[in-house]
């Protein structure tokens, strides 16, 4: 069984073709600059040379067509024909309150995804375009939607409701949804295995620290709270996103700077976070190296970042009445030993002790605590594409 996993952004498309017999990646790649000039496809077939295709892509249908051509190409391809594909799995960012699990895509499902476009205006329309493109190019091929929000649909009301008039929730569905669900689920399942505990009995806190970042509390196999909310702007400070701020700042900025609500939204999403604090970069490698070279603002940005991650871990330990394990994942969580060490330096009150030597690792599944640590701390590489492919396989039966 071979599954094609697609992740469509507004002007990009990432893909992986996964052989579900051994869960190996047969090929992966990226289409960039869809709909603008100089669009290109970078195709990496496993065991063969990477190739770049520079061809105009007017829309996502063009992009999907080029990807399918690359996958079946006589030289750079990895399958003979599209008949070998059992299904296409689409990452869909927002499933609102409609979806608490992955589903086969039907007309009704597409309508529900469309109804969530207001909640994720940058992502859901692009996801729908990708779905339509596949329907056009591979009619009848089973297609599955896997939602970033689905895993968090188990949050209780007390966690997902904002303390604003309840009718705003009823009327506009303003509530906390949470994101990165596939990643939190994937690493928490592995963490339970590493603990030697049943997933349905463990209390796990997962920290997905990439460009976007969120923390999740998983109690007895269910997401009970997570730091992102109505949109992926809430919660931790991130590469360019502010995370939590006093909502009064928005009106204050509009008045004092004479800017629109849209401008403030842009400032909080694109110019804030560690980029805004440091004025160096949104990339943590740049900020860590600037801080090492004595840039005080870069150091302040890192300090603020670590402090907030630690605060959420503390909050979620309280929410669950303890924790068995804390997991670090995604670009920064998997690769930055100093981030893990700095965050955990706040957590000795929980009886957590980090083994500096074990923590000196990158991109590996490792328990980084000493044997007497009261809570285990793991680094676990995430694999969102594999979760999507596994969900397709499960649905296909
Ligand atoms: P996304 O998928 O959200 O775009 P990633 O999970 O790829 O993001 O994470 C990207 C972030 O991880 C970047 O800020 C990058 O600097 C950081 N990162 C990757 N490798 C390292 C490393 N070795 N040290 C510190 N930060 C790293």
Global pTM reads 0.94
* Overall number of domains in the chain: 2
Query: Does residue 335 fall inside a structural domain?
Result: yes
Q: What is the pLDDT of residues 104-148, one digit of tens each?
A: 999 999 999 999 998 888 789 999 999 999 999 999 999 999 999
Asked if 338 and 207 sit in the same domain, the reply is yes
Which candidate in 49, 59, 83, 148 is catalytic? Answer: 148
Supply angle C-alpha 79, 82, 88, rounded to 5.
105
Protein residue with least CA distance to atom 19, ligand 1:
331
178 and 171 in contact (C-beta within 8 Å)? no
As beta bridge partners, residue 345 has none
Per-residue pLDDT, averaged over 7-33, amounts to: 94
Q: Is 107 a catalytic residue?
A: no
Q: What is the pLDDT of residues 228-254, one digit of tens each?
A: 999 999 999 999 999 999 999 999 999
Query: Does residue 127 fall inside a structural domain?
Result: yes
Query: Does residue 305 fall inside a structural domain?
Result: yes
Q: Is 212 in the pocket of ligand 1 (CB under 6 A)?
A: yes
pLDDT over 90 at 11, yes or no: no
Q: Is 283 in the pocket of ligand 1 (CB under 6 A)?
A: yes
* Euclidean distance between CA atoms 292 and 79, whole angstroms: 48
Atom number in ligand 1 closest to CA 382: 6
Domain extent for 52: 2-147
3-state secondary structure of 183: helix
127 and 110 in contact (C-beta within 8 Å)? no
CATH number at residue 126: 3.30.420.40
Please classify residue 293 by burial: count the beta carbons closer than 10 Å to its beta carbon, then call 0-12 exposed, 13-18 middle and 19+ buried: exposed
């Amino acid at each position: 069984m071979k599954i094609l996993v697609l992740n469509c952004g507004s002007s990009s498309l990432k893909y992986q073709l996964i052989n579900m017999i051994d869960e190996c990646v047969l090929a992966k790649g990226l289409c960039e600059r869809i709909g603008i000039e100089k669009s290109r496809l970078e195709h990496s077939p496993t065991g063969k040379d990477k190739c770049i295709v520079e061809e105009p892509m007017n829309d996502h249908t063009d992009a999907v067509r080029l990807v399918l051509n690359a996958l079946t190409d006589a030289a750079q391809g990895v399958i003979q024909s599209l008949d070998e594909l059992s299904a296409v799995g689409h990452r869909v960012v927002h499933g609102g309150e409609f979806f608490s699990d992955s589903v086969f895509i039907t007309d009704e499902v597409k309508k529900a995804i469309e109804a969530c476009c207001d909640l994720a205006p940058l992502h859901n329309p692009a996801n729908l375009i990708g779905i339509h493109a596949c329907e056009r190019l591979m009619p009848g091929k089973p297609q599955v939607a896997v939602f970033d929000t689905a895993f968090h649909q188990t949050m209780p009301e007390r966690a997902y409701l904002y303390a604003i008039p309840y009718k705003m929730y009823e009327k506009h569905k303003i509530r906390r949804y949470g994101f990165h669900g596939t990643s939190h689920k994937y690493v928490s399942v592995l963490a339970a295995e590493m603990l030697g505990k049943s997933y349905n009995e463990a209390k796990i806190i997962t920290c997905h620290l990439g460009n976007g970042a969120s923390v999740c509390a998983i109690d007895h196999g269910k997401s009970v709270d997570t730091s992102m909310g109505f949109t992926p702007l809430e919660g931790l400070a991130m590469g360019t996103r502010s995370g939590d701020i006093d909502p009064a700042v928005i009106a204050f900025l509009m008045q004092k700077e004479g800017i629109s609500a849209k401008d403030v939204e842009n400032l909080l999403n694109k110019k804030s976070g560690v980029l805004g604090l440091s004025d160096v970069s949104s990339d943590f490698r740049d900020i860590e190296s600037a801080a090492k070279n004595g840039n005080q603002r870069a150091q302040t940005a890192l300090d603020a970042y670590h402090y907030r991650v630690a605060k959420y871990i503390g909050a979620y330990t309280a929410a669950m009445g303890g924790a068995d394990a804390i997991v670090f994942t995604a670009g920064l969580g998997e690769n930055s030993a100093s981030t893990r060490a700095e965050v955990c330096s706040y957590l000795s009150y929980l009886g957590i002790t980090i083994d500096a030597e074990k923590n000196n690792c990158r991109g590996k599944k490792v328990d980084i605590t000493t044997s007497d640590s009261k809570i285990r701390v793991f680094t676990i590489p995430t694999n969102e594409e594999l979760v999507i492919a596994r969900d397709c396989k499960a649905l296909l039966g």
